[in-house]
């Protein structure tokens, strides 16, 4: 593999035990480029039980075999090599992935690279810091506590962040000595498959990181597998619930769920207007709104409402001009991931027209490909579908409010709890709001932001467990207590 363009047709295999191999299952499906619905690949395998069992067997062999003999520093060396390889190879991999994800390659050099590089380097530094604990023998027993890896883990990933989730899940898993089987979304498998060989080149032994492709049926085989000890899932609430049930019904494997959102951004009268407009607009448009932390509900205080809404509408309308070919390095906004997602968003927007006032967009852009215009609704009914449910498109809903107490209730009146933002110059109010808002992450004068050092995840039905930072490591290890009888 080199910097040259990667060919999608080379990635119609599974990556098992350090090799690209044909799947035993003969079931396949095809994928199109959402910019124009042209064929990209027509034989992506849907891994079946035999393929999943093979991946688990290789994973167990690696876990108990070569990988268990690596020192912490050797694991760090693999991560550092991986980061160096990514410097060379990430752009072509993201370009390959873009052909079915529609994620603009213009995001590759800074946003995607920064995120993935930070992730790999951050966890490179954690391999030798899993210190345990010691308690003295005041009662005749010395107590030692070790943090042990769980064993064979799997990642089931969503379509909207294929590469980011690959690294976000496998880096903490591998840093703590686990092995990982990754199933990318059926809509976006190519970049994950291409990236898998870099782990091998970086020195991770065969079987430590494997990739199998397939639909929900393949994900279900992983979630219910009796030898997999942990599933780290990112996707919708509905599927997350199924994964948790499958885990409970099989072997009680550990479960981390990173699920959907309907994130509120609250703009107070005293906010820096330009800053608030920039963050709220840019964040609903990244990946054309297919972002779990997108601020899809915007609350604006009455005193600033007219000015804010005017500026917000202008910026959203103007952004329609940014839509274009995601494989063009100058384009910043791409299509929906596929025709099904476009139809879903269009359907919600259509129904929304009778539940709120449509003030920007509302239509598919052009008739080639899966492009959706940036869309804004005002003053939704309190039970409107577009106000309550995750749309996962470039669509936001604005509502005005008068008091802090009122907006806190509105912001929290949802089963989602992933991200929230508060825009104000009043530090006391910012602190009150960030403590009152029921979200796993709250941005002050910013929104839809994550940081590798700090935990990320959802409250309420937006998830269980946390990724990023030291917290992710805890969820890939379990403490073991060793009691030593000093009298023997
Ligand atoms: P999805 O739930 O449709 O699919 C996610 C994955 O689950 C896919 O790999 C799919 O093949 C697999 N799957 C489907 N049925 C399964 C089953 N029965 N058992 C096991 N696996 C199964 O989600 P999606 O449409 O790919 O992604 C969009 C969703 O992901 C949105 O709700 C978004 O908010 C959420 N998301 C959350 C985060 C986060 O960090 N909280 C990040 C990105 C995306």
Q: pLDDT value at position 108?
A: 81
Q: How many whole angstroms separate alpha carbon 446 and alpha carbon 325? A: 28
Q: Identify the CATH number of the domain defined by range 8-259+462-480.
A: 3.40.605.10
CA 406 to chain centre: 31
Q: Measured from the CB, is residue 338 less than 6 Å from ligand 1?
A: no
Q: Measured from the CB, is residue 161 less than 6 Å from ligand 1?
A: yes
Q: Measured from the CB, is residue 242 less than 6 Å from ligand 1?
A: yes
- Rounded to 5 degrees, φ, ψ at 162 are -60, -50
Run means of pLDDT, 10 residues per run, the chain, 488 residues: 75 98 98 97 98 98 98 98 95 95 89 90 97 97 98 98 97 98 98 98 98 98 98 98 98 98 98 98 97 98 98 98 96 97 98 98 96 98 98 98 98 98 98 98 97 97 98 97 97
- Looking at the CA of residue 183, tell me the nearest atom of ligand 1: 9
β-bridge partners, 53 = none
**Which residue in the list 112, 186, 258, 404 is annotated as catalytic?**
258
Q: Parse the chain into domains and list their residue ranges.
A: 8-259+462-480, 264-451
Centre of ligand 1 from the C-alpha of residue 257, in Å: 10
Say yes or no: do domains 8-259+462-480 and 264-451 share a fold: no
- Closest among 5, 4, 21, 1 to 13, alpha carbons compared: 21
Q: Measured from the CB, is residue 29 less than 6 Å from ligand 1?
A: no
- Looking at the CA of residue 237, tell me the nearest atom of ligand 1: 32
Count of beta carbons in the 10 Å neighbourhood of residue 105: 23
Q: pLDDT value at position 4?
A: 54
Q: Measured from the CB, is residue 292 less than 6 Å from ligand 1?
A: yes
Q: Which CATH superfamily is domain 264-451 in?
A: Aldehyde Dehydrogenase; Chain A, domain 2 (3.40.309.10)
Q: Measured from the CB, is residue 166 less than 6 Å from ligand 1?
A: no
- Looking at the CA of residue 159, tell me the nearest atom of ligand 1: 26
In angstroms, the Cα distances linking 225 to 154, 159, 229, 246, 463 are: 10, 23, 9, 9, 21
- Looking at the CA of residue 215, tell me the nearest atom of ligand 1: 11
In angstroms, the Cα distances linking 45 to 22, 218, 358 are: 8, 10, 42
Active site residue 60: no
Q: pLDDT value at position 63?
A: 98
Report the residue among 101, 212, 235 best suited for mutation to probe ligand 1: largest number of ligand atoms under 8 A from its CB: 235
């Amino acid at each position: 593999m080199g910097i040259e363009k990667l060919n999608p047709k080379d990635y119609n295999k599974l990556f098992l035990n350090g090799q690209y191999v044909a799947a035993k299952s003969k079931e396949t499906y095809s994928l199109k480029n959402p910019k124009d619905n042209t064929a990209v690949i027509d034989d992506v395998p849907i891994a079946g039980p035999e393929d999943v069992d093979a991946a688990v067997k290789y994973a167990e062999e690696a876990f108990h075999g070569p990988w268990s003999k690596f020192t912490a520093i050797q694991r760090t060396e693999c991560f550092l090599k991986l980061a160096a390889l990514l410097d060379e190879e990430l752009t072509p991999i993201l370009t390959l992935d873009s052909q079915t994800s529609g994620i603009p390659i213009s995001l590759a050099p800074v946003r995607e690279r920064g995120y993935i590089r930070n992730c790999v380097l951050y966890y490179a530094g954690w391999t030798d810091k899993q210190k345990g604990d010691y308690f003295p023998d005041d009662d005749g027993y010395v107590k030692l506590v070790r943090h042990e890896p769980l064993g064979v883990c799997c990642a089931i990933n969503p379509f909207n962040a294929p590469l980011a989730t690959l690294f976000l899940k496998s880096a903490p898993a591998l840093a703590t000595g686990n092995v990982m089987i990754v199933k990318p979304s059926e809509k976006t498998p190519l970049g994950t498959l291409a990236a898998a060989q870099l782990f091998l080149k970086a020195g991770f032994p065969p079987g430590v990181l494997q990739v199998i492709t397939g639909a929900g049926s393949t994900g279900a085989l992983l979630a219910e597998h009796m030898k997999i000890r942990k599933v780290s899932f990112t996707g919708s609430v509905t599927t997350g619930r199924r994964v948790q049930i499958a885990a409970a019904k099989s072997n009680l494997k550990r479960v981390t769920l990173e699920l959907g959102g309907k994130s509120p951004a609250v703009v107070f009268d005293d906010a820096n207007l330009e800053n608030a407009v920039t963050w709220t607009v840019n964040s609903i448009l990244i990946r054309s709104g297919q972002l779990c932390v997108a601020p899809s509900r915007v609350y604006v205080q009455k005193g600033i409402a007219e000015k804010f809404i005017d500026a917000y509408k202008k910026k959203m309308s103007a952004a329609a001009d940014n839509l274009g070919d995601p494989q063009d390095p100058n384009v910043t906004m791409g299509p929906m991931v596929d025709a099904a997602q476009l139809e879903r968003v269009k359907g919600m927007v259509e129904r929304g027209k009778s539940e709120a006032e449509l003030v920007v967009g509302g239509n598919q852009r052009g008739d080639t490909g899966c492009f959706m215009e940036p869309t804004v609704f005002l003053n939704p009914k309190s039970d409107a579908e577009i106000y309550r449910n995750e749309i996962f498109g470039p669509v936001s809903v604005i509502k005005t409010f008068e008091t802090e107490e009122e907006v806190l209730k509105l912001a929290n009146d949802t089963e989602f709890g992933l991200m929230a933002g508060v825009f104000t110059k009043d530090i006391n109010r910012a602190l009150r709001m960030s403590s009152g808002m029921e979200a796993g992450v709250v941005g002050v004068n910013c929104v839809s932001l994550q940081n590798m050092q700090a935990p990320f995840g959802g409250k309420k039905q937006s998830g269980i467990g946390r990724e990023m930072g030291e917290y992710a490591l805890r969820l890939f290890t379990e403490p073991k207590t060793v009691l030593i009888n000093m009298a023997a």
